[in-house]
Structures are given as structure tokens and as C-alpha cells.
Amino acid sequence: MSEDTPGFALQVINFNDLEGWKDDDPSGLFEAMEACRRQIAEVKPYRTGSLGLTARDLVPLLEAARKETVSSAADARAFFESHCRPFRIRRADDGPGFVTAFYEPEVVVSAEADDEYCFPFYRRPEDLVDVDESNRPTSLPESYAFGRLSEGRIEAYPDRRAIDGGFLMGRGLEIAWAKSKVDVFFAHVQGAARLRYPDGSIGRITYAAKAGHPFSAVGKLLIECGEIKRSEISMQAIRRWLGAHPHRVDEVLWHNRSYIFFREVLAVDLSAGPVAAAKVPLTPGRSLAVDRLIHTFGFPFFIRSENLVHLDDGKPFARLMLALDTGSAIVGPARGDIFTGSGYQAGELAGTVRHDADFTILLPNAAAARFV
């Protein structure tokens, strides 16, 4: 086992120990790896997580992938076997990892507000500022990466309840207006959305910033209140409950004080996934959101879940994926969010993923030497 990192450790294993590896086809990762290479080389290297893996550690793998000719699943597996070593992520309590899933919803919207379309998607406000150790006031917890600049001072930004109550009205920040507050809320949870306008045109929005408050799961609230059984919780179950209790929608949604702001992106190629935190398009079934404070974008993870079978036609989920996104609810070394795609069917797949899983990170050979 490698040197310990607080809360977890890496255990070097062999590819033969990866159950499901020999049946996987990771050839679809090479396009995303090339996009990561260009992002690192031409724009900006990814931030290093606490595990200590850097974008520089990743570059040799990405450069090799650029030159590789892959014509089969076996070729793809052989490439990773040659250039990487697998390390099982072991939590301190030796418990399993956990995966959920996310998708890009499609929301019917209007460019103008009226009695039907009255729930806005907002751009980032001009008084929302990034917060780090150089400017964090003592009143703002370390978990807050954003705050409000007001009269020269930084303070906590108003939360979901205050913004729903009109805090941002009249500032011209609206991108579009939806019919349903619940649709807007779930787009916040997913971090991106397609916007379908009345004339049939499609726009796209993606995460730009957040108000800063911690994410609080409304599903957990409904379980604790006895409204939905833990064994039955899913996005679909939450939506059904909200639809059946319209007078309690605000009460439940305001429990999650976190609020997401968006930016518009070109919707040139709707066959490509949304561009997320790693600044490259997500690939359905092959892109993973991870804890950015621990992990570094672009690294491959092999995820296996014995009981997660509805994503692979009844077979246990076992796939190599790239860490390309993050999220407020994705916390911990063996915690991931699987991107399932765009639209209604992708949402049906994503909404019921809540499964234990094994996490194995593939480290490029030179970086792996530090952890053996």
C-alpha cells in the first residue's frame, strides 16, 4: 500500500485483479484524452488535488495516446496496461465507494418572461467574487469558494430562498425563463442543461459559478422526514413527491441553500456532450465527476459496481472512465458521479443510480513509482 493520505490510501494491484477489465472497451476515451491534452497544453493545466497528482504527471499518458493507433477494445486495453499501473482506492474505514449519476436535462424555456414562463436561469452576478485564502474574511467558512463583494467587503452571498424571493430581479441577468421551478432546480443539481425555445431552437447552458453555500440533498431531507423510503429514493421519486405536494415545494427546495449560476455556450454539435469543469465535452458512460479537492481532472478511473446493472443491459457496471467534472455533492476519495448523456432517457438512467462501487485509479508509470 502506498503512503497514506488522510482518509484513504492507494493499494497497487494488477490489471488481472480488475474484475470486468477484460470485457471493457475503453477505446472511446482517446478523443476525450486528446481534448484534455490540448486543454493542458494550450489553455491551462488542471488544478492539483490533495492526492498530489499533477497535470504534468498526466501529460506522458496523453501524449502517448495521441500517437497510438487503436482499432479494437483489445488494443485500447493493451495501451493502458502498457502505460499505467492500477491502484485500488482504499478508504480508511475500508468501506466501499459510492456512485450516483448525472445527465444534461432539456428544459422548455422562453427568452421573455410571462405568466407561464416565470422561473429564470441566471448568469453570474457582477458582485459574486471568487474567495480563497488571500481574501477570505474570518466570517466566511473555508468551504465557501464564492462570496459577495458589497461596499468593499466580502460576505456570504444570498442563498436560494433570497434569490427565489427576488434578490437578483431587475439586474438583467436572466438567460431564459422556464415554466417550472422544479425543472430549474434539477438543472442546478446537474450543472448544465439544453434549453428548448418555442421556435424549436436549442440553446445550451453550463455551470459558471455558485452562491457558495454548501449543497444539501433534498432527497436526504425527504427520507429523514419520512416522506420517501430510503430504499425508494431517486430523482424520479423526488419529482413525483414535489408534484404531489406543490404547497411544500419552496420549503423543500430552500433546504438546499446552494444556488448555481450559468453561462451560455454554443450548441453547434448537439451530438457532443456538455462541456463541464475540465473544459472538454463529456462522453456518456465514460465521464466521471470526482472530488476536485482530492483528485485531478483527466486521470482514468476504473469503476465497478456489482449491483449497478441497468446501465449495461443487466451486467455489472465495469468501465474505464475519465475524471472530467466535479460537483458539490461529490465528496470523498471513492465517490463519483457517472454522466449518462442528454435528454429524458439519460435522466431516467441517471435518476436511479445510487450504488456501492470499487474505485481504481490508473496512474501513468512515472507517477505510479511515487506510490508503490
Q: What confidence tens digit (pLDDT) does each residue in 292-310 have? A: 999 999 999 999 999 999 9
Question: Residue 268's pLDDT is what?
Answer: 66
Closest CA to 237 of 354, 342, 336, 105: 354
3 within some domain: no
pTM score of the predicted model: 0.88
1 within some domain: no
46 within some domain: yes
Report the relative pairing of strands 192-196 and 202-210 from DSSP bridges.
antiparallel
Q: Are residues 203 and 65 in the same domain?
A: no
Count of H-run helices and E-run strands, the chain: 10, 17
Q: Are residues 261 and 133 in the same domain?
A: yes
pLDDT digits (tens, 9 = 90+) for 198-210: 999 999 999 999 9
Beta-carbon contacts of 303 under 8 Å, excluding residues fewer than 6 positions away, are 97, 99, 288, 317, 318, 319, 321, 336, 338, 357, 358, 359, 360
Report the relative pairing of strands 97-104 and 335-342 from DSSP bridges.
parallel
Q: Are residues 233 and 119 in the same domain?
A: yes
- How far apart are the C-alpha atoms of 339 and 287, rounded to whole Å? 6
Q: In the numeric block, which cell numbers belong to residue 354?
A: 445510487
With helix as H, strand as E and coil as C, how does 219-243 read? HHHHHHCCCCCHHHCCHHHHHHHHH
- How far apart are the C-alpha atoms of 326 and 328, rounded to whole Å? 7
Q: Are residues 132 and 68 in the same domain?
A: no
What total number of domains does the chain contain? Answer: 2
Q: Are residues 208 and 302 in the same domain?
A: no
Q: Are residues 110 and 255 in the same domain?
A: yes
Q: Are residues 64 and 152 in the same domain?
A: no
Boundaries of domain holding 55: 8-101+273-368
2 within some domain: no
Question: Residue 269's pLDDT is what?
Answer: 75
DSSP state of 281: B
Q: Are residues 213 and 315 in the same domain?
A: no
Q: Are residues 260 and 277 in the same domain?
A: no
Q: Is 215 helix (H, G, I), strand (E, B) or coil?
A: coil
Q: For position 293, which CATH number holds?
A: 2.40.40.10
Q: Are residues 93 and 110 in the same domain?
A: no
Question: Residue 1's pLDDT is what?
Answer: 37
Q: In the numeric block, which cell numbers belong to residue 31?
A: 478523443
Asked whether 164 and 254 are in contact (CB, 8 A), the reply is: yes
List per-residue pLDDT tens for the chain, 372 residues long.
344 556 799 999 999 999 999 999 999 999 999 999 999 999 999 999 999 999 999 999 999 999 999 999 999 999 999 999 999 999 988 899 999 999 999 999 999 999 999 999 999 999 999 999 999 999 999 889 999 999 999 999 999 999 999 999 999 999 999 999 999 999 999 999 999 999 999 999 999 999 999 999 999 999 999 999 999 999 999 999 999 999 999 999 999 999 999 999 887 677 788 998 999 999 999 999 999 999 999 999 999 999 999 999 899 999 999 999 998 889 999 999 999 999 999 999 999 999 999 999 999 999 999 998
287 within some domain: yes
Per-residue CA distances from 46 to 6, 206, 219, 339 (Å): 22, 19, 32, 20
Asked whether 122 and 137 are in contact (CB, 8 A), the reply is: no
- How far apart are the C-alpha atoms of 164 and 168, rounded to whole Å? 8
Q: Are residues 141 and 256 in the same domain?
A: yes
Question: Residue 94's pLDDT is what?
Answer: 86
Q: Are residues 134 and 257 in the same domain?
A: yes
